[in-house]
Chain A
Amino acid sequence: LAKTTQPISMDSYEGQEVNITCSHNNIATNDYITWYQQFPSQGPRFIIQGYKTKVTNEVASLFIPADRKSSTLSLPRVSLSDTAVYYCLVALSNDYKLSFGAGTTVTVRA
């Protein structure tokens, strides 16, 4: 499983855009990039998944450069309720294993 590196923590204010960059230098050809969000005392929640270029859904965007050695999760106009730990994962398309990195604690302030 490819190792991921992301910032330990990030602070932001309500209404701002938050961008979290994840490094995955040894990503393999068949690996997908997936992001999960976790609130205290809850299980992780799937946010977004991508393979290359850009993916957007109703809550976030995922930007993946051509070399795929990094990815950036973008959370537009965050609110206090977006305060959580965000995990970047790289997983094989034909494997069940998910290996969580340390995650990024995002704190949104009023």
Chain B
Amino acid sequence: DTEVTQTPKHLVMGMTNKKSLKCEQHMGHRAMYWYKQKAKKPPELMFVYSYEKLSINESVPSRFSPECPNSSLLNLHLHALQPEDSALYLCASSQDRNQPQHFGDGTRLSIL
């Protein structure tokens, strides 16, 4: 069982829909991350939150909007996505900068 919980596990949405991905951790970690992973490719960093503030945005399109309501929660709001955005979206957390990251099992997103 993973200590980082992501919901939903699967999501199918149309290009005009608005949906949100949720990530939760209760390990007291102060850094949280969003990654995107296409099939048979390595994860790619999208966003990093440190102490609930956006620390890194890897030039992600604005149709992806992250939010960190508190130290345990991380959301990724989705709007007007494209078919090429279909992927596994992974959330991770770590105690601090140089500490190992703990990953959730991801949300499998399909854009119709």
List the interface of chain A (C-beta within 8 A of B). Answer: 32, 34, 41-46, 49, 87, 91-103
Contact = CB atoms under 8 A, between A and B. Distances in A.
Interface residues of B, number: 26
29 contacts: A32-B98, A41-B105, A42-B2, A42-B106, A43-B103, A43-B104, A43-B105, A43-B106, A44-B43, A44-B90, A44-B101, A44-B103, A45-B103, A46-B101, A49-B100, A87-B42, A91-B98, A93-B97, A94-B97, A95-B98, A96-B50, A97-B45, A97-B48, A97-B56, A98-B45, A99-B45, A100-B44, A101-B42, A102-B42
Contacts of B17: none
Interface of B: 2, 4, 31, 33, 42-45, 48, 50, 55-56, 88, 90, 92, 94, 97-98, 100-106, 108
B2 A43 contact: yes
Contacts, number: 58
